Amino acid sequence: MTLRDDLRSRPWLIAWILLVLPLAWWTVQLVAGGWVPHGDTAVAAVRVHDVFGAHTPLLGMPSTSGLAVEGVHAHHPGPLQFQLLAPLYALTGHAPWALVVGSFVLIATLLALALAAANAAGGRRGAIAVAVAQAVALPVVGAGLVTPWNPWVAMVAFTAAVASGWAILVGRGGWWPVFIVTVSVAAQSHLALAPASVVLGVVALVASVVLWRAGRLQMSRGTVILTAALGLVCWVAPLADVATRRPHNLELLLRVAGAGDGAPVLSVVVLAGAGALLWWLHRHGGGVASGRPSVVVPWVAIVTAVLLLSATRAGGGRAGYIAIGLPAVLILLTWPVVGWWSRSRHARAAAGVLVAVVALGLLLVPRPFERLIGADADRAAVVVERARQVARGIDGPVVIRSTGSTAWADIAPAVYAALLADGREVYFEPRVDGQREDDFRHPRHLDAPHRTLLVDSYADRPQPAPEGAVVERVELPERPDAPAPGGDRYVDLVLTPPR
């Protein structure tokens, strides 16, 4: 069967519809509720805006590496997420809803590829195993999955990469173009998954050579050329960064990787356990080049080992980000469980129970990420609306500054992302120390006359306003279930006289 035949196969389609339905509902909710980018998603919106400009991003989101390794301010490896969201965002005149709809389309596409690849590799059992593993994220993350926050894109892309790599390992070489794109999206979107993504690429390449030499890999010359071309397109921006900047981001990432506090004993245990499992599987005909559907076991075991090793080497609280690889790791559990279920006399009833459990989970399980996203967006939206009114009287550049926890974390980025989307010349300071790729918007580069808009959040006492400043006070919506950072209740928009 060809890749086109695999995509037309029906068994995975039902699972995809069941997974996408809640995503579609959350998309409608966010768009109808007037969601605006704020915090990290506002930073992402700025870089998506820049894709078709003179300062197109070569890297991903700024990371918090400077908090873990002093003086090292790395970015996530690449801008693929920005590039994939940019066309719709630009076509709609940089409307906020385009980021949500674009994220929904991106996540839904990645889920479709993951399920179709798993179906090609392991039949209906494979598709269900991947669907169940991915369904775990739905009740936990909720509506956050359709916002442009890089960990969620990386999470789903990583599962799609594992599934498409699985299809390659059973001899479906036509899945190589999908694998190279999905593993690139995963690696570029979040550096926590970059080491595992690189290892997956190397293992898939070596296993493909072994399978091809044994005559068990179906792969045309056109597929090879397409894969190489897509790989170049995916990585041309990060490669340009390596070629043109000093220090380049790869150098910074290597410094971050080597600076973790580490856990040598645990690392040795992980390596020994993974090596023993892979040796045992190979001795029993289940190695990564066996060509059998059960190759998913050593394949995902390698993924798990690399993620655990990354966690043991992470420092400064970064180990928690490894959890975004959990849906892919869960395939180690769901594959045998679904196999047992499919042989059961009550398979149909069990399927109904599974769907009911997921549905109840969506209704009953608390979704802290969704609650926080909703509260932050509500607070940002009212301030953004007022900031746009204040900015109507501004001619020329405007500098956005912030004081207060809520302003720094969420609302000031929401304001500068909104004003930039409106076509204004905006300058702002980064939320973390160190030079970022959007440093060209730092106020130190501004020599022309300009106005400064200070976004000041506070609980009960505002900062004194400069003489002659225009002050607009906004009372933030109360959300007892998700209070603002520092207990902030108000935001003052302070527009200073021209300078």
Tell me how far the alpha carbon of residue 162 is from its chain's centroid. Answer: 16
Domain boundaries, the chain: 3-365, 369-495
Q: CA-to-CA distance for 110 and 182, rounded, in angstroms?
A: 8
DSSP 387-446: HHHHHTT--S-EEEEEESHHIIIIIHHHHHHHHHHTT--EEE--SSSS--TTGGGSGGG-
Per-residue pLDDT of the chain (499 residues; tens, 9 = 90+): 555 655 555 778 888 998 999 999 999 999 999 999 999 999 999 999 999 999 999 999 988 776 667 777 888 999 999 999 999 999 999 999 999 999 999 999 999 999 999 999 999 899 999 999 998 888 788 889 999 999 999 999 999 999 999 999 999 999 999 999 999 999 999 988 998 999 999 999 999 998 888 888 888 899 999 999 999 999 999 999 999 988 888 888 888 776 655 555 555 566 666 666 666 565 655 566 666 788 888 888 888 888 887 776 655 555 667 788 888 988 988 888 887 776 666 656 666 666 666 666 666 566 667 778 888 889 999 999 999 999 887 888 999 999 988 998 899 999 999 999 999 999 998 776 666 788 889 898 888 889 999 999 998 877 777 666 778 888 888 887 778 877 889 999 998 888 7
> Nearest to residue 273, comparing CAs of 321, 312, 317?
312
State if pTM tops 0.85. yes
**Spatial CA neighbour of 186 closest among 163, 168, 160:** 160
